[in-house]
Structure 1
Amino acid sequence: MTKTFLASAAVAALMISPASAQDASTVLATVNGHDITLGHVIVAQSQLPQQYQTLPDDVLLQGILEQLVQQEVVASAAQDGMSGAMRIGLENEQRAYIAAMTLDEVSQGEIADADLQAEYDAQYADVEPVTEYNASHILVDSEDAAQALIEQLENGADFADLARENSTGPSGPNGGELGWFSEGMMVPPFEAAVTDLSVGEVSAPVQTRFGWHVIKLNETREQAAPTLDEVRDQLVEGLRQARVDEYIQNLTDAADVARPELDIDPALIRDVDLLNN
């Protein structure tokens, strides 16, 4: 929708009375013999960007109708003089629109509860609980510095205070807390050290590409598979996409598709001059 629509809507709302209509075939305007119906307006409205959806219905009705009239005036005048590029573009737009609307109808069909449960079982029934770790660390530049911190901890120093005072990592100001993570989320030496610790235990110095770490394991927990309700939207979206993929594949398998063997220079796709030859 262009700025022309907003200006047209404001003017047309003052000039045109709302049409009395009973169904989508009701003619709201006729331009050079071509009817513009309530159905045309409804479809145009349904495709408006969200920012226009809050406009009053009377403004939308008159504004969309005025735009459709203007479009028909221009289109009918240009019909006989359409360039090759315009005709091909129109074919592409028609093909894309029909395909998109059809696939939307296919995907939006109801998903049966049994199908949803079956998909959930297929994805999550055999999922084992995942151990998650909550740890803190102090990152320093050398093994000696890390060992000195460990000695201070053994003498009663507070881990969070030492992290705030000494850590060069981004978690330092937060007392070294890293929050919850599971296997695969940390670099291997760090992860190996964490999984070897007991809750409350502090590691020996651990070297990674970031430097030397002193690690404390704060807590562990078992993260079970999500419930069906927690992943419902994700599962529904997957089932809808699978339905669309199957529909396309079935049609493609049944279609008569011929691709002649031609030696085409890929660079030709950029030669727009070919459209009007």
Structure 2
Amino acid sequence: MLRKTLAITSVLLLSTTSMAAKDPVVATVDGISIKKSELEKTYQENLMFVSDKRVTRQKVLNDIINRKLGIKRAKKANLDNDPIVKQKMEDIMYHAQISKDLEPRLKKIVVTDADVDKYYKDHPEYRTAHILFRVRTNPEKEENEAALNQALKVYNTLKKKPELFSELANKFSQSSTAPNGGDMGFQPAIRLAPEYFNAIKGKADNFITPPVKTQFGYHIIKVMAVKSVKSINNALYKKIVYDQKRDAILDNYFSELRAKANIKINEETLK
């Protein structure tokens, strides 16, 4: 029996030694071991990113050591109980859980050229110019009225003399595009405020809108051109359509969660 026990012990020791040999400890930080496998994994990950400094195993090891020391100090300071840290941790868990739940569905998303054509038909890319009269996000009544009245004055001038658009944009617009006559260039619909895009959708070249209110203020918009689907950045629009399909999956996912949850909303507090 003793001989059998010694034999088993020897096998376990050999096994442990063999595992240690395959994954040796390259450094310790206050008793915390850094294994060769951890160093190699982090080293390979670092090689995937462009840096102005040469990536070496020594540099990566120093980074790991610094991280261990930083985490140790954070734990000693009880940062895991800090409200801001807790919120960030909850954000990480939130995104990690969604990724875990939805990854199989998201992998099945396919975007075809037909999908892009269908999307672009409803969301063509316009080149526009605008004259912006800014107001704060929550303006006082007087501020809002003053901006609107100024916008209406300029618009009434443009109705009579549309050729003055560039000049008036340069003079009155509070946008960074003012020096260029308000020219925004071609912009995908997703880069425009919804009210802005809806005001120009389907309009012909040289059409000038009456003042349009967005979160930024009042815009007078001139349609300058619309891009043919053959001229668009196809990769960009495939990404846009992908995002839409992803968002539809997310909406359905949260609808399922909300249906199973006990949610009560005090509508009065929303007013």
TM-score band w.r.t. shorter chain: 0.3 to 0.5
- TM-score (structure 1 length as normaliser): 0.40
Structure with larger Rg? 1
Higher helix share: 2
- TM-score (structure 2 length as normaliser): 0.40
